[in-house]
A and B are shown apart, each in its own frame.
Chain A
Amino acid sequence: MDDNIVSTDRLTKRYGDRAAADRVSLTVRRGEVYGFLGPNGAGKTTTLRMVLGLVKPSGGSALVHGLRPGSPEALRRTGSLIEGPGFFPYLSGLENLRVVGRYRGLGRSDAEEALERVDLADRGKDRFRTYSLGMKQRLGVAAALMGRPDLLVLDEPTNGLDPAGMASMRRLIQDLSSEGQTVLLSSHLLAEVQQCCHRVGVIVDGRMSFEGTVADLRGARVLRVRAEPGDRAMPIVQGAAGDVEQNRDEDGRAVLTADAAGVDVPAMVRKLVADGVDVHSVAVQERSLEDVFLTMTEAGR
């Protein structure tokens, strides 16, 4: 059994001279939450549309559940929300889900269950057009959940949500993930991806520029020492960590930054104190994904 639920091979979509997606190769494994990351207009949605068979590729190939993308069998095992929810504005949320359920050949209870899942049960009888952006988005996710598909494709599901809505969407994705659900999630929000995803793919200007784990993407952890005076601290930190970069923080204190790999932090701190250096803080930090992302985006341009 193939463990890749989605795999694309040099998938390309051209509109005239412009390649919206240019030789995109990615793989989503069974049971993982895959973050598809990129700035607006990078080609995320175009790629996902090709994966769902809404758009025909100009080149390359893709397999979803081992099948041709967009084939009825592949789609029946996939739930999706692509670029905003598309529903009948005059129908209630519940009726909209029932219509979707009929298309899938499901029973009536599936719609109610999906509404419960996204906390919309109490507004289920209201018309879709009266919903807030966040509620519309949640209804879109509810529709994607109908029939318990093996794969969920969610295109920027937190778009338009307030912080509470974003948090509850993240919780929902984490719950689904812990139930073993495979999710392909696109986003331009790093925090979202950082918190939910096992692996990420980064797309910039239509091209994949990275695929791997969040940890791989961030690279090494960083040692940050705030200490005064900086000149006296410098040789000690260098002795412990090798290459050190010195900056000043907003209070004018020296901040020494180095690769944290293999550093014996307690020993280094003892040496600093023994040498009469005032240690204000010592931290081992992961590089923020945002830093990585911006570097990658800049490099890509």
Chain B
Amino acid sequence: MNAWSHSTRAELRRLMLWPATWVLGGVWITLLFAFAYAFPYIAYRSGDADAFQGGPTAELLASMLPQAAPAILIQGTPMFGGAVAMIFAALTVGNAYSWGTWKTVLTQGPGRVAAAGGTVTAIGVCVAGLVLFSTVFTLGLSSLVAGIESQALVWPDWGDMAASVGGTALVLGMWAAGGVFLGVLTRGPALSVGLGLLWTLVVENLLRGVSQLIDGMPAVVDRLPGSSAGSLAGALSSAAGGAEGTPGVLDALSGPVATGMLVGYLVVFVALALTLIKRRDVA
């Protein structure tokens, strides 16, 4: 346990000092700002109902206010947030192979499981930090919009908000675990990121397109990682007032089923990664 916490502290230090950590975090926050606030706000001010994802202007304004914060927070995670988390984790783990730092780390004597576990924990801490910052950021910007537009400051249902924070963490955590697994599997940053992006952005959507051709295939496709993440986002954001039309947000599975699938994927990805690190020779 001691070795595990030493490893976590060491990895956290190097991740906090890694420019890529902040660049990727910044990309996610920028996307959140642009698609949840900037573009809807411009559309709202222009008064053109068709300017951004359609809908009456009153609905556009409502989608930016604090009451919609639970939906705002999670709706971007299945596709963009997940991709960012996956890239981050795959780069963290994959680069450790290409830089030769696994070798350096493992010869310090933490033990393979503790060293890899420390890395996974550190990535988890970074994801948790990002989720917390996003939560504060979302509530802050929504309050700002309410203030500017002279709307009454009505906070969201805090239970919905907590569910959204948890769901966001689970979706990002699952994709990060996928990134860890791919980084370990391919032992490099480029192939792992490439494969991960191909999966999140392309493959699942294509499978969804052809799944009607084979009996039973839609049920399988619905339970794939991206689909489960989209379903959880759909379940949590519709509870808080809808996020129709956001890419990646689905209603294929119910909230509890989607949650179960995501936890399952997270555990399996991490377990596979730890097993591979434990068993394979380090070049």
Q: Report which A residues bind B (CB closer than 8 A).
A: 49, 52-56, 72-76, 78, 80, 82, 84-91, 95, 98-100, 102-105, 143
| A143 closest partner in B (C-beta) | B104
Which stretch in B9-17, B123-131, B157-165 binds the other chain? B9-17
B103 and A54 contacting across the interface, CB-CB below 8 Å? yes
Task: Say whether B218 faces chain A, with CB atoms less than 8 Å apart.
Answer: no
A86 and B102 contacting across the interface, CB-CB below 8 Å? yes
Complex formed: what's the CA distance from A103 to B8 in Å? 8
Return the contact of A102 from the options B6, B101, B109 (Cβ within 8 A). Answer: B6
B110 and A95 contacting across the interface, CB-CB below 8 Å? no
Return the contact of B18 from the options A72, A84, A90, A100 (Cβ within 8 A). Answer: A90
Central interface residue in A53, A76, A105, by most chain B CB within 10 Å: A105
| B107 closest partner in A (C-beta) | A80
* CB < 8 Å A-B pair total: 82
Complex formed: what's the CA distance from A103 to B111 in Å? 10
Task: Say whether B7 faces chain A, with CB atoms less than 8 Å apart.
Answer: yes
B13 and A98 contacting across the interface, CB-CB below 8 Å? yes
Return the contact of B109 from the options A85, A86, A99, A104 (Cβ within 8 A). Answer: A104
* B7-34 with Cβ < 8 A to chain A: 7, 9-10, 13-14, 17-19
A-B pairs with beta carbons under 8 Å apart, 7 shown: A53-B106, A75-B106, A88-B18, A91-B17, A103-B108, A105-B2, A105-B3
Complex formed: what's the CA distance from A52 to B282 in Å? 11
Chain B contact surface mostly = helix
Interface residues on B, range: 20 to 34
| A95 closest partner in B (C-beta) | B17
Complex formed: what's the CA distance from A96 to B283 in Å? 20
Q: Apart from A78-B107, A89-B99, what 9 extra A-B contacts exist at CB < 8 Å?
A: A54-B107, A78-B109, A82-B103, A82-B107, A86-B101, A88-B18, A90-B17, A90-B18, A104-B108
Return the contact of B6 from the options A78, A84, A90, A103 (Cβ within 8 A). Answer: A103
Complex formed: what's the CA distance from A78 to B107 in Å? 8
| A73 closest partner in B (C-beta) | B109
Residues of A within 8 A of B10 (CB): 99-100, 102-103
CB distance from B228 to the nearest CB of A (A): 34
Residues of A within 8 A of B272 (CB): none
Contact bitstring B245-283, A, C-beta under 8 A = 1, else 0: 000000000000000000000000000000000000110
B13 and A90 contacting across the interface, CB-CB below 8 Å? no
B281 and A55 contacting across the interface, CB-CB below 8 Å? yes
Contact A75 to B108, CB < 8 A, known contacts A87-B99, A99-B14, A104-B6: yes
